[in-house]
Amino acid sequence: MIRLQWWQEPCQPLDHVARSKALARQQQLTKPAGSLGQLEHLAVHLAALQGRERPSVTQLWIAIFAGDHGVVAEGVSAYPQEVTGQMLRNFVTGGAAISVMARQLDAALEVVDLGTAVPLEALPGVRHLHVGAGTQNFRRGPAMTQAQVLIALEAGRDSVQRARQAGAELFIGGEMGIGNTTSATALACCLLDCPVVDLVGPGTGLDSAGVAHKREVIEAALALHGPDIQAPIDALVRLGGFEVAALVGAYLACAQRGLPAMVDGFICSVAALLAVRLNPACREWLIFAHSGAEPGHQRVLDAMQAEPLLALGLRLGEGSGAALAVPLLQLACHLHNDMATFAEAAVAERPA
């Protein structure tokens, strides 16, 4: 088991004074109490996270972590592995969905390549870390070495540090890696002690026969590694991916450095679950963007008592669902900060 456990350091506490002031303000705004539903809770929670009565999410940092998966050799993906590297180019040249969203949101977009199966030239705008040529095939052995897991966790932590230095008010993690729904499903089944059949899905578009084969591969991997998984970090070593580990490190670092994080879809939510299992206090710093189309996503969200903001049938990844939810978060802040109080608008309050 890995001994160096920076991720277990304390998370930042919530500011309960700011929360109380924000809650009091909500009760004074010109609307029936609770009429804006989850938007009110979001604004108050953000106030507690940011330590100010009037929260803001105008400065955005989006980090896309990419890595390939050796388990693709088992025929679990509808796409070949060279797509991972091709999408890295697409991210930085502005053609990917998340690239479009980042431009529209005026967000900083960072792309981190942890290791692709097909060698890549140095791409302008991409941080190439070369942790390995993708993970190993976890159907046959551990996906990563302990050293690789540490490097990947630290890659996520380092991205959060850059976000903080840039003045970010919200962190969004995204992922790219052919085969990563197989890894995420295996991890979720392990952490939740669920039958694979309950969580496995089509990923990037497998047909029913492909999903059945994917289930068999995951079941065999869980049988192989089960006796050696004694802790969440063991599951990450045995079944995870470079980009999944980076997301885990990022979510933990967000909580430790006091930066709210918006969690994207199935793969990101599994990484969030791992982060919560490693350091439960980080849960307060995670805001969940959406409930996606992958069958296991809702089960993972339920395990963290998460209430996602959207349900649009998304299954793209890349942080795209989290980016889509940002305007809701921003409007929650504007409504909280800019609406008039009953006194300011000279509107009669409800009688006591």
Q: Burial level of 119, CB count in 10 A (0-12/13-18/19+)?
A: exposed
pLDDT at site 351: 76
Within a domain: 66 = yes
Give yes or no: 318 in active site. yes
Q: How does pLDDT run across 254-290, given as a tens digit for each residue?
A: 999 999 999 999 999 999 999 999 999 999 999 999 9
Proportion of the chain above pLDDT 90, given as a percent:
96
| Per-residue pLDDT tens over the stretch 125-166 | 999 999 999 999 999 999 999 999 999 999 999 999 999 999
Residue 4 is predicted with a pLDDT of 58
pLDDT of residue 350: 77
**CB atoms inside a 10 Å sphere around CB 340:** 12
Q: For residue 58, what pLDDT band results from cuts at 50, 70 and 90?
A: very high
- Alpha-carbon distance of 3 to 295, in angstroms, equals 34
Range of the domain at 50: 13-54+336-345
Domain membership flag for residue 350: no
Q: Catalytic residue, from 9, 53, 318, 349: name it.
A: 318
Give 348's pLDDT tier (boundaries 50, 70, 90).
Answer: confident
The CATH number covering residue 172 comes to 3.40.50.10210
pLDDT digits (tens, 9 = 90+) for 329-342: 999 999 999 999 99
Does residue 220 belong to any structural domain of this protein?
A: yes
**Domain shared by 184 and 285, yes or no:** yes
CA pair distance 230, 330, nearest whole angstrom = 41
pLDDT digits (tens, 9 = 90+) for 165-210: 999 999 999 999 999 999 999 999 999 999 999 999 999 899 999 9
Q: 40 with 170, same domain? A: no
Instruction: Return d(Cα 92, Cα 16) in angstroms, integer.
Output: 40
**Is 31 in the same domain as 165?**
no
Strands (E), 94-162: 108-115, 126-128
Tally of structural domains, the chain: 2
**pLDDT mean over 2-17:** 88
- 63-72 pLDDT tens trace: 999 999 999 9
> Percentage of the chain with pLDDT > 70?
99
Q: Among residues 107, 109, 74, 58, which one has the least CA distance to residue 88?
A: 109
Query: In this structure, is residue 2 part of a structural domain?
Result: no
Q: Say what the pLDDT of residue 352 is.
A: 66
